[in-house]
């Protein structure tokens, strides 16, 4: 279950984004630099088309979680954001479709051909950068305090396909587009797809049964809390910023753990 610490990515990006790394290094003194801004679109805006692609991915790979429905969920991204009473709509040039939001801030995205044609956006009644989004795929009837690994595998594929992860640095968004696809992210130990438990976690264990044999393993410390390497400065770029104590990596890439593996949480506090 070895994996690459994301802090190295932060370092590499910082290095390569330094003025010495680009054409500016060759700029001669006295000549003003010209900067061309390609787009002012918020990098965390949610594209309706991409989210529908995520739903299509869910349909294609539903065998990973055959009994689970697909919902999406809004989660806090910045300190102090009010997560109560959020409203949501699909907004195109001529179409506006309200989307009901459940008390846990989850929702089902309706399919609408007009909104697809108009390349609509999915807009919430909060500043977009104040929240992050995830797919929520949960098999009914699991024991309390557990998840199912196949559900999480599918959450990753759908979440990446739908463009849900909200790392706020434009450079992160750029590199994400250049180097990653859902299969690359979700099938690699270095994919760095973050999951969030429902409460702060102290330990995460995997448990699978094969006949009379049971395999149980506790995740190493470096798979909790976004690797445990993030500085305050790094955290502002991570959509785990205000949920660090709920954050973990799951070995979704490791096929030696079957889809029916239970992911068990030991919480920091025994009662919610």
Question: What residues line the site for other proteins (CB under 8 A)?
Answer: 2, 4-5, 8-9, 12-13, 15-16, 21-23, 79, 175, 178-179, 190, 200, 202-203, 218, 220-222, 224-225, 228, 242, 244-245, 266, 268
123 by DSSP, 3-state: which? Answer: strand
CB-based contact 186:207 (threshold 8 Å): no
Whose Cβ is closer to other proteins: residue 23's or residue 272's? 23
Whose Cβ is closer to other proteins: residue 241's or residue 261's? 241
Least distance (Å) from other proteins to the CB of residue 158? Answer: 25
Whose Cβ is closer to other proteins: residue 130's or residue 136's? 130
How far is residue 163's CA from residue 46's CA, in Å, rounded to a whole number?
A: 7
Least distance (Å) from other proteins to the CB of residue 245? Answer: 4
Q: What angle do CA 67, 123, 91 make, to 5 degrees?
A: 100
Provide the angle, in degrees to the nearest 10, between the axes of the packed helices 6-16 and 170-179: 110
Whose Cβ is closer to other proteins: residue 8's or residue 127's? 8
List residues bridging with 97 in a β-sheet. Answer: 90
Phi and psi angles of residue 187, each rounded to the nearest 5 degrees, phi first: -110, 15
Q: Return the residue matching tokens 């003025």.
A: 19
How far is residue 253's CA from residue 183's CA, in Å, rounded to a whole number?
A: 10
Least distance (Å) from other proteins to the CB of residue 242? Answer: 7
Least distance (Å) from other proteins to the CB of residue 209? Answer: 19
Whose Cβ is closer to other proteins: residue 67's or residue 221's? 221
Least distance (Å) from other proteins to the CB of residue 98? Answer: 33
Please name the helix (run of DSSP H) or strand (run of DSSP E) that holds residue 172, with its range, or none.
helix 170-179
């Amino acid at each position: 279950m070895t994996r690459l610490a994301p802090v190295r990515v932060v370092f590499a990006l910082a290095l390569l984004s330094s003025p010495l790394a680009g054409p500016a290094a060759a700029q001669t003194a006295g000549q003003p630099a010209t900067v061309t801004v390609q787009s002012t679109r918020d990098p965390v805006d949610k594209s309706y088309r991409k989210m529908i692609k995520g739903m299509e991915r869910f349909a294609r790979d539903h065998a990973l979680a055959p009994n689970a429905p697909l919902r999406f969920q809004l989660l806090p991204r910045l300190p102090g954001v009010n997560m109560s009473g959020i409203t949501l709509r699909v907004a195109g040039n001529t179409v506006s479709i309200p989307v009901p939001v459940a008390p846990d801030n989850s929702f089902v995205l309706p399919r609408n051909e007009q909104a697809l044609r108009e390349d609509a956006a999915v807009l919430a009644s909060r500043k977009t950068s104040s929240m992050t989004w995830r797919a929520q795929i949960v098999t009914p009837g699991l024991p309390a305090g557990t998840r199912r690994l196949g559900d999480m595998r599918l959450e990753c594929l759908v979440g990446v396909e739908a463009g849900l992860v909200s790392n706020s640095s434009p450079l992160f968004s750029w590199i994400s587009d250049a180097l990653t696809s859902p299969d690359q992210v979700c099938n690699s130990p270095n994919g760095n797809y973050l999951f969030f438990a429902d409460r702060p976690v102290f330990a995460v264990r995997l448990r699978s049964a094969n006949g009379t044999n049971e395999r149980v393993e506790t995740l190493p410390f470096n798979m909790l809390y976004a690797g445990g390497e993030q500085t305050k400065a790094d955290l502002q770029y991570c959509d785990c910023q205000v949920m660090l104590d709920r954050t973990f990596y799951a070995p979704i890439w490791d096929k030696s753990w079957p889809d029916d593996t239970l992911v068990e949480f030991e919480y920091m506090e025994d009662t919610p």
